[in-house]
Amino acid sequence: QQQVKQSPQSLIVQKGGISIINCAYENTAFDYFPWYQQFPGKGPALLIAIRPDVSEKKEGRFTISFNKSAKQFSLHIMDSQPGDSATYFCAASIGNFGNEKLTFGTGTRLTIIP
Amino acid sequence: EAGVAQSPRYKIIEKRQSVAFWCNPISGHATLYWYQQILGQGPKLLIQFQNNGVVDDSQLPKDRFSAERLKGVDSTLKIQPAKLEDSAVYLCASSLGHSETGTDYEQYFGPGTRLTVT
């Protein structure tokens, strides 16, 4: 069964700190690993994504670290801000360039406190 | 660029009743997805269309759920009859579909329809 395990379930970080969310997968056929951000009452929105040919991808304050041998990947949010408070989902798919079937993790509710 | 539109935003029905959700994807997007998001969980794919053909419906409870995408644009998802465990947010997403360059595979999600079955 294709699964993506995500932790922690909830996370509280002080403003300016680093938020770290971890995911692990089992299916070695997965080759696309996106992170989605979801605010209450909204649909998920793509935040950043990585393919397994690189070990790290950075976009602004958001970084994905990818460990292919351990089948793990994580999201790091640097200088966390109150506006980052949301639920974050990792996901994985077997890419087919436009026809990806995403398998989502269970989500992490992130709260940034002043 | 207009996003993915869904209606209604909220729906409350009693068990054994029927309900239908509507989705209008981003213009030009060939691939359309319906997800079920139960409270506290990640979205789970129910069905995926490529234009007006079904690509994957392996996780769609076909005894009560049905979906169609006539003319390869709008889509409707129907539940008949509803059960208590169908209470969830139903998300529609779309993507540009197959690209010659291998890009443009991002899925764009609508705001969802929150269904409560009592």
pLDDT of residue A2: 58
- Helix (H) and strand (E) counts for chain B? 0, 11
Give residue-wise pLDDT tens across range A22-80: 999 999 989 889 999 999 989 999 999 998 889 999 999 999 999 999 999 999 999 99
C-beta atoms surrounding A101 within 10 Å: 18
pLDDT of residue B51: 87
Nearest CA in chain A to B50: A99
Burial call B95-110: b when 16+ CB within 10 Å, e when fewer? bbbeeeeeeebebbbb
Query: Is B110 within 8 Å of A99 when comparing Cβ atoms?
Result: no
- Which pLDDT score, from 0 to 100, does residue B70 have? 82
Using one digit for the tens of pLDDT, what is the confidence trace for B38-73? 998 999 999 999 888 998 899 999 999 999 998 889
Interatomic CA distance for residues B51 and B46, integer angstroms = 16
pLDDT of B2: 81
Per-residue pLDDT band at A81 (split at 50, 70, 90): very high
Optimal mutation site among A3, A90, A99, interface B, most CBs of chain B within 10 A = A99
Nearest beta carbon to residue A102 from set B45, B103, B112: B45
**C-alpha distances in Å from residue A70, one per residue of A15, A24, A48, B93:** 30, 8, 20, 31
Instruction: Tell me the mean pLDDT in the region B8-15.
Output: 97
> Which of A49, A99, A107 is nearest residue B42 as measured by Cβ atoms?
A107
Chain B residue with CA closest to A103: the answer is: B44
Averaged pLDDT, B3-24:
97
The number of residues in chain A equals 114
Q: For residues A1-21, give the mean pLDDT.
A: 93
- In this prediction, residue A89 has a pLDDT band, given cuts at 50, 70 and 90, of very high
Contact B105 A101 (CB under 8 A): no
pLDDT higher than 80, residue B105: no
**pLDDT number for residue B35:** 97
The answer, yes or no, to whether residue B19 has pLDDT greater than 70, is yes
Q: Does residue A43 sit at the B interface (CB-CB below 8 Å)? A: yes
A107/B105 Cβ within 8 A: no
Mutate to test the interface with A, among B48, B56, B107, B114 (most CBs of A within 10 A): B107
Q: What is the pLDDT of residue B102?
A: 54
Would you state the pLDDT for residue A109? Answer: 97
